[in-house]
Chains A and B, each alone.
Chain A
Amino acid sequence: MLRNLQQVELQCCRHISTTSTLLKNRAAKTKSTSNRTQLLTYEMAQKPHHIGVRKSWLTWHSQNLEEFRQSQPLVVAQDEVVRRFIRGFFPQNLVVSGNETVIKRRGNILIVAGFLQYSRRLDIRRIYWMFGFAEEFLSILLKQPVKLELAFVESEEDVAYNYI
């Protein structure tokens, strides 16, 4: 009882902060380093307003087109599942922390494309097994055939578009 009273009192004393926000965070703002060591991929280097002009989308599907069956929330959720799975399943092989995975949908097939690297460890048999596992797992999870068309580059430098 006493505690409740105290809480009420505390709440009464609180005020709403009315400071105006400083909107200085912008998308795709890159900060350069003094010795130009920050790697930028093509995807990072192009600004959001260049999507569809200089760079294309990371997800390809027909669900946002007119007169098509539109279940975009499902697609977005599926994309997130796939991206997170790839990021977590190939931790040693990711380039740019697995942020650039292309997901394409053709018919009922879901195709995962992008780049992986093998500079840390090259174990061909293990990679084949992991590809098979990932395809099988995602197919069962998403109830549709999933194909991994991830290509390998030697190291992250191969996908570098620019250094700033």
Chain B
Amino acid sequence: MHRLRLISTRGKSTLAEKLKSAAGGADYGKSKQNFASGSITAKDERGADFRELYVMPKRKLRGQTQLEQATGRAEYKTRSRFDIADRLAERPPRSEEMDPEKQKWSDVWPAARTFASSVVPLPVRMGSRPNVEKRAPFKKEGNLELVKIPNFLHLTPAAIKMHCDAIKKFCTPYPPELLSKSTTLPIQVQYSTYIHQGTNIRDIRSRVVTMIVDVESLKLGDVAMEKFIRLAGDRFDEKSRELTIVTDRCHTRKQNLDYAYYLLTVLYHEANKVEQWAELKERSDNLKVEFEGSSTKTKLTELIEKAKTAGLATDEKSIDEFGKMWKEYRNTEETVETTREYGRQMRKLLGI
């Protein structure tokens, strides 16, 4: 009941009110009927309703009041604007009130913000005009181009210096080992962090970790090195002697970095292991064609012997040099230069 009453106070004819009156069977709508029938009491002698003839409303019409105002018969009422209080409270722009020399600009413009012409005390203009001599470029106030462009008014040199001074106490000195450029650290880890504009800060590419290891600093023996290279496959770069491990199979960067270290550890220990079947390795299983023990060498020594007996001026000492060249020739792609070098060395060896 209480609730019903509460509702009925809000509007004059709510559903609850109608329901209430309907339930009571009371004289609902009587007042409305009276209102509709014009004057309530007026009845003529026969008892029928007397309705007034409508000629004109019982108030002064607009034209009438205007006429009276114009002729001076009625007093003209002037009204102030409804928002006069707010219009009076309006202040001149801040840029005019401020004293640019005494104030601290970083307090006025502390963070990145859209250009506000009322705040910035600079006499700037922006925009193109066909003839600037005739008409100056568009003014500062209401200039959308100035609003569009990013500004660096919060990054004045003074503000940057202030920031640097504030965070200086958190800084530690730069590691002195890294100051000298000659020292190359054995392990190099690379990853990327991505910044986006949007609601999501995650990027699937940020999990990828690239680890570059200087293999020479692992100090592996010849056998272990060969096994290491075989295990590493194309992750090992022959020229720079670097091992590159790219891990991207885990969800986070931390996991991928851990995995990269795990792979390196496993690779190192596996390379150092010598299995029983490793003894069975033959010459043809070598990674590279060796000069030592090759049929070329045996044939060459025989040839040199023959040449010597034939009386040619052979150069036996240069066979090591030839071997070096031969190894390179056999293990790299053949070019005109290497072939020419091969011939030159051979001629020198045989003394032709």
Contact = CB atoms under 8 A, between A and B. Distances in A.
Interface of A: 41-43, 46, 54-58, 60-63, 68-69, 71, 74, 100, 102, 104-108, 111, 113-115, 121-124, 142-144, 149, 151, 153, 158-159, 161
A113 B197 contact: no
A158 B141 contact: yes
B89 A124 contact: yes
A122 to B, nearest CB: 5
A40 to B, nearest CB: 11
Interface of B: 82-83, 86-87, 89-90, 112-114, 116-118, 127-128, 138, 141-145, 147-150, 194-201, 203
A35 B144 CA distance: 26
Nearest to B135: A162
Given A58-B148, A104-B114, A108-B198, A153 B142 contact: yes
Which 4 pairs show the lowest CB-CB distances between chains A and B?
A: A158-B142, A149-B114, A105-B197, A159-B142
10 contacts: A42-B138, A42-B145, A54-B127, A55-B148, A56-B145, A62-B196, A69-B203, A114-B147, A115-B147, A149-B113
A105 B83 CA distance: 35
B117 A56 contact: no
A108 B199 contact: yes
A161 B148 contact: no
B87 A122 contact: yes
A58 B128 CA distance: 17
Contact of B148 (A60, A107, A121): A60
A123 B86 contact: yes
Per DSSP, chain B at the interface is: loop
Nearest to B113: A149
Contacts of B200: 69
Contacts of A100: 144
Contact of A124 (B86, B112, B195): B86
A123 B87 CA distance: 9
A42 B86 contact: no
Given A69-B196, A151-B118, A102 B90 contact: no
Contact of B117 (A42, A55, A114, A151): A151
Contact of B90 (A55, A60, A122, A161): A122
B149 A56 contact: yes
Nearest to B149: A56
| Among B143, B150, B195: residue with most chain A CB under 10 A | B143
Given A54-B128, A121-B83, A124-B89, A102 B147 contact: yes
B86 A113 contact: no
A60 B116 CA distance: 18
A62 B197 contact: yes
Contact of B197 (A42, A107, A149): A107
A106 B114 CA distance: 11
Contacts of A123: 83, 86
Contacts of A68: 196
Contacts of B118: 151
A141 to B, nearest CB: 12
B114 A71 contact: no
B127 to A, nearest CB: 5
Nearest to A71: B198
A60 B83 CA distance: 36
B127 A57 contact: no
A143 B142 CA distance: 30
A115 B112 CA distance: 19
A111 B148 contact: no
A128 to B, nearest CB: 11
A69 B198 contact: yes
Contact of A42 (B127, B195, B198): B127
Contact of A161 (B87, B138, B194): B138
A68 B205 CA distance: 11
Given A54-B127, A122-B83, A111 B144 contact: no
A43 B201 contact: no
| Among B89, B145, B149: residue with most chain A CB under 10 A | B145
Contacts of A102: 114, 144, 147-148
Given A42-B144, A56-B145, A158-B141, A106 B197 contact: yes
B112 A106 contact: yes
Given A58-B148, A113-B148, 13 more contacts: A41-B144, A42-B127, A54-B128, A63-B198, A69-B203, A100-B144, A102-B144, A107-B197, A113-B147, A123-B86, A124-B89, A149-B114, A161-B138
A159 B145 CA distance: 11
Given A57-B148, A144-B198, A149-B113, A115 B142 contact: yes
Contacts of A74: 198
